[in-house]
Amino acid sequence: MKVTIVGAGNVGATCADAIAYRRIASEIVLLDIREGFAEGKALDISQTATTLGFNTKVTGSTNDYSKTAGSDVVVITSGIPRKPGMTREELIGINAGIVKTVAENVLKFSPDTIIVVVSNPMDTMTYLTLKSTGLPKNRIIGMGGALDGSRFKTYLSQALDKPANDVQGMVIGGHGDTTMIPLTRLATYNGIPVSQFLSVEELAKVAADTMVGGATLTGLLGTSAWYAPGASVAYLVDSILNDQKKLIPCSVFVEGEYGQNDICIGVPCVIGKNGVEKIVDIQLNDAEKTLFAKSADAVRSMNDALKS
């Protein structure tokens, strides 16, 4: 199975590294516009093969899309990241042009591929990719919920003082500091509602920390994060290539689900070899429904910026 990652920067290269060492794909192509950069990252990752014990072929390319031919999955991580104080939304103008061109180029050589969109503002970039390529909706997947969910579970585990892998939780809605919805009501510690262990105030703090999780890291690092984003993309790609049918909140095109239409927004999806195989309808309570509707409105108005 072949994966192309367009944008060999922090997130793209970390994702390639995780896909290689976890043996998720047989071949990875990293592509970037910076002369020699993707080749360098690919060579560096290749040289971990014998120490980490994988046989994945990892190559790099400076803007030569013919090298990406026949990819089963293409990940778009090209574009500019946030700087401290910026919102994801402020990236729209530059990243829209990049994402649209990249999607056109990859489809020339991999017409049957599934596209995973990572570049921000991710919900809008996913919508743009869907509309500009005309691909069926199951083949365009925005990655945000996997990352936001992993941050949510990390903060929950810290508040509970329990191992992160004993905690279950999900974040739906838009992938923005004010639009994401950590579903604290449904979060569990080994199947037991976390509300049995944490106070309302403690849960509210976990939710608030999750929502600004990306901004917190941008403030600390001076640019946006890459380990958790790269690992989250690899997790999603694994479910596609190995048909794992994991339930992962992803930004996908909705037609009536959760009461919304004509946007891409984070909803729980079964992800397998056909991409988005099912959108799962979880029963939200009235407060959660209101938050979801508000989040959808915010995503919709962001998409309006594509028209200007």
Beta bridge partners of 32: 62
175 is catalytic: yes
Q: Between residues 24 and 143, which has the closer beta carbon with respect to ligand NAI?
A: 143
Site residues for ligand NAI, window 16-55 (CB under 6 A)? 32-34, 37
User: According to CB under 6 A, which one of 2, 9, 72, 252 is a site residue for ligand NAI?
Assistant: 9
User: According to CB under 6 A, which one of 3, 4, 5, 12 is a site residue for ligand NAI?
Assistant: 12
Under rule CB under 6 A, residue 144 binds ligand NAI = yes
Residue at token pair 């997947």: 141
| Stretch 100-119: interaction string toward ligand NAI, x if CB under 6 A | -xx---------------xx
| Stretch 219-258: interaction string toward ligand NAI, x if CB under 6 A | -----x-x--x-----------------------------
Measure the CA–CA gap between 181 and 294, rounded to whole angstroms.
10
CB of 119 closer than 8 Å to CB of 125: yes
CB of 152 to ligand NAI, least distance (A): 13
CB of 136 to ligand NAI, least distance (A): 22
CB of 233 to ligand NAI, least distance (A): 8
Beta bridge partners of 68: none
Site residues for ligand NAI, window 53-82 (CB under 6 A)? 77-82
Tell me how many residues contact ligand NAI (CB under 6 A).
Answer: 33
**List 2, 139, 153, 175, catalytic entry:** 175
Residue at token pair 């192309």: 4
Tell me: is residue 95 an annotated ligand-binding position: yes
User: According to CB under 6 A, which one of 61, 110, 120, 157 is a site residue for ligand NAI?
Assistant: 120
CB of 137 closer than 8 Å to CB of 130: yes
Under rule CB under 6 A, residue 266 binds ligand NAI = no
**Secondary structure string (H, E, C) spanning the chain:** CEEEEECCCHHHHHHHHHHHHCCCCCEEEEEECCCCHHHHHHHHHHCCHHHHCCCCEEEEEECCHHHHCCCCEEEECCCCCCCCCCCHHHHHHHHHHHHHHHHHHHHHHCCCCEEEECCCCHHHHHHHHHHHHCCCHHHEEECCHHHHHHHHHHHHHHHHCCCHHHEECCEEECCCCCCEEECHHHCEECCEEHHHCCCHHHHHHHHHHHHCHHHHHHHHHCCCCCHHHHHHHHHHHHHHHCCCCEEEEEEEEEECHHHCEEEEEEEEEEEECCEEEEECCCCCCHHHHHHHHHHHHHHHHHHHCCCC
The CB-nearest residue to ligand NAI is 9
Q: Between residues 203 and 233, which has the closer beta carbon with respect to ligand NAI?
A: 233
Tell me: is residue 231 an annotated ligand-binding position: no
Q: Between residues 160 and 231, which has the closer beta carbon with respect to ligand NAI?
A: 231
CB of 145 to ligand NAI, least distance (A): 9
Tell me: is residue 300 an annotated ligand-binding position: no
Tell me: is residue 22 an annotated ligand-binding position: no
- Residues in contact with ligand NAI by CB under 6 A are 6-12, 32-34, 37, 77-82, 91, 95, 98, 101-102, 118-120, 122, 143-144, 147, 175, 224, 226, 229
| Active-site residue list | 175
